[in-house]
Amino acid sequence: EVQLVESGGGLVQPGRSLRLSCAASGFIFDYYALHWVRQAPGKGLEWVSGISWNSGSIGYAESVKGRFTISRDNAKNSLHLQMSGLTVEDTALYYCVRAAVGDGVDVWGQGTAVTVSS
């Protein structure tokens, strides 16, 4: 079974850091690009960051550029998002998602909640 399982969310104070992780299983990990997508309470889906299969191409939404860093470890089938300088606007459910080359997102994790509050 294809699975993406996020972890690392929690309650954090503004300005602090947090590291999210995503463990993948059930598919050939390094065939796919991976992304982080978030959803603030009551809002729509927002792309946060993405990384190609070999980490050769990386992108960030303007809202997180310079504060978040995406990385992957193909040997461990894992994806990470290092978040720093967190603000209340970063409060959201963060999803790890998979995308095939030339295709859209086709697998979603269950999400991990990040709450930024003092």
Partner 1 sequence: QLVLTQSPSASAPLGASVKLTCTLSSGHITYAIAWHQQQPEKGPRFLMNVRSDGSHNKGDGIPDRFSGSSSGTDRYLTISSLQSEDEADYYCQTWDTGIHVVFGGGTKVTVL
Binding residue (CB under 8 A) for partner 1 from 30, 73, 89, 106:
106
Of 18-77, binders to partner 1 (CB under 8 A) are 33, 35, 37, 44-47, 50-52, 57-59
CA torsion 96→21→14→63, rounded to 10°? -40
Residue 105 Cβ vs partner 1, minimum distance, rounded to whole Å: 6
Binding residue (CB under 8 A) for partner 1 from 40, 63, 82, 105:
105
Q: Which is nearer to partner 1, 13 or 102 (CB)?
A: 102
Q: Does the footprint of partner 1 cover residue 110 (CB under 8 A)?
A: yes
Task: List residues near partner 1 by CB under 8 A.
Answer: 33, 35, 37, 44-47, 50-52, 57-59, 93, 95, 99, 103-111
